[in-house]
Amino acid sequence: MDNSTLLLLLAFLVSYLRTVIFFRGNQSRKSSKLPPGPRPFPIIGNILKIGKKPHQSLSELSKTYGSIMTIKLGTITTIVISSPEMAKEVLHKHDSTFSGRTVLHILQTLDHHKVSVAFLDPSVHWKTLRRACVTKVCSSSQLDSTKNFRLKKLQDMLEYLDECCRKGDDQVLDIGEVVFTTILNSISSILFSIDLAGFASDSTREFRDAIRGVMEEAGKPNIADFFPALQVLDPQGARSRMDVYAAKLINIIDDIVGERMEGRAAKMEPKVWNDALDSFVLQMEEDKPQMGRLDTVHLFGDLLVAGVDTTSTIEWAMAELSKNPEKLEKAKKELQHYVIGKDIILEESNVSTLPFLRAVVKETLRLHPPAPLLVPHKALEDVKICGFTVPKNAQILVNIWAMGRDSAIWCNPNQFMPERFLESEIDFKGHDFELIPFGAGRRICPGLPLAFRSVHLMLASLIHQYNWKLADDLQPHEIDMEEKFGLTLKRVQPLKAIPSKVY
């Protein structure tokens, strides 16, 4: 269905509703003052001003209307935040008020939003899920105990790359695919003690396709999100496609969980796997478990999808380093200086001795945040900010992409300059609002500690032992850095290169 047909359909379906809302809205504006913003068109609001790259178009609009701005996306009132000061108001000072979630229509698939740590509004159940996620998977002690799982998957990646090097210049690799496979297997090993993907195998394609399908559908604009009255019609078929992908993903995870539960029940002395699933199954066997099988399966689904999101950060970092050879050389020299041995596998503890590598990751997250508008927040009640009223149920978008490109915050903001962080205490752990790629406050990403370890170690391994020749004789200045907006900020053109051993 093309855009013009959709707009005509919308006009017939919601014109009456829009008229009622218009007159009621005029009355409410007399007693409340929304933040400024572009004048909305009837019915569609400001949708036409958003385009395919909303993080960029909203950034441009904020230059006219300010760092707190109102836009109408169909019938949805949306407040856009575009400065560290305003982000601190929303995510720190008024954290509890803005801790609700706006849930996309397709993410309601299989009632996922009712059991998801990512999309539930704050509640006792949400706190239980989040606590389980942190203590059983992402705490420092748990990450230390599962370190060998991650190192084994890293070794698998290096062995695969070594084999590609032996085959010579005809082995063009999609770096994003290599990283995706490694991270997916790393997380599935932590959760289940099994691999869910293979570098050169079709045996796991069903799961790979399911998780990629979920990510792609979640990243596409869906007109039913702008006009909730249309959700029952699913005019673009987005919900139907998501239902298929999500069912495959959840069913595979549920089978893994069910098999472990049956195995434990069938043995007098069940094997100790020392993975997250064991911990969750033991908890489910209690008399009054706080989490059931459904909660566990959907939590694992959230962790897998969120975990592979870090693929984009590593691919962007490799693209920026390839485009800036002098920065790549500086990172290599740091690794050669601090790491002893030619073929040594880096340890997570090495990261603390690599300040330039850490600066590269920060600079990549500044320029290419995984979720450029964060996961949408929702106002749970009316609240005043800087003299403006943010109404209850308004959607809140925090444009961290715009903040990362703001010349009032950063010198030469569009340039890749890791050195800016060498003399700076700014970090991305939720306290410095100039750089909050994982959010801040009570809705900060609970997987941040795992992402921190995985991104640094994998990036260091890719550049320490290998040189990368761009495919098709591409020169560094010719690398396409165009962005594709979605669930994560991806590259339009995958980064493809040929590896060769450094030593």
**Mind listing the pLDDT tens digit of every residue in the chain (503 residues)?**
455 444 434 544 444 344 344 444 444 444 469 999 999 999 999 999 998 999 999 999 999 999 999 999 999 999 999 999 999 999 999 999 999 999 999 999 999 999 999 999 999 999 999 999 999 999 999 999 999 999 999 999 999 999 999 987 778 999 999 999 999 999 999 999 999 888 876 656 788 888 888 988 888 889 999 999 999 999 999 999 999 999 999 999 999 999 999 888 777 556 667 899 999 998 888 878 889 999 999 999 999 999 998 899 999 999 999 999 999 999 999 998 877 555 567 788 888 899 999 999 999 999 999 999 999 999 999 999 999 999 999 999 999 999 999 999 999 999 999 999 998 999 999 999 999 999 999 999 999 999 999 999 999 999 998 999 999 999 999 999 999 998 789 999 999 999 999 87
Q: Which DSSP letter does residue 341 get?
A: S
- The full set of domain ranges for the chain reads 1-31, 32-501
Residue-wise DSSP of 291-303: S-HHHHHHHHHHH
Separation between Cα atoms, residue 416 and residue 433, nearest integer Å: 20
**What is the distance between the alpha carbons of residues 366 and 454, in angstroms, rounded to a whole number?**
18
pLDDT per residue as tens digits for the range 59-90: 999 999 999 999 999 999 999 999 999 999 99
> 32-501 belongs to which CATH class?
mainly alpha
> Residue 4 corresponds to which tokens in the numbers above?
């013009």
3-state secondary structure 379-439: CCCCEEECCEEECCCCEEEECHHHHHCCCCCCCCCCCCCHHHHCCCCCCCCCCCCCCCCCC
Is 23 exposed, middle or buried (CB count within 10 Å of its CB: 0-12, 13-18, 19+)? exposed
Q: Which two tokens stand for residue 356?
A: 């330039």
Task: Give the helix, strand, coil percentages of the chain, each rounded to 5.
Answer: 55, 10, 35
Question: Element (H or E) spanning 80, and its range?
Answer: strand 76-81
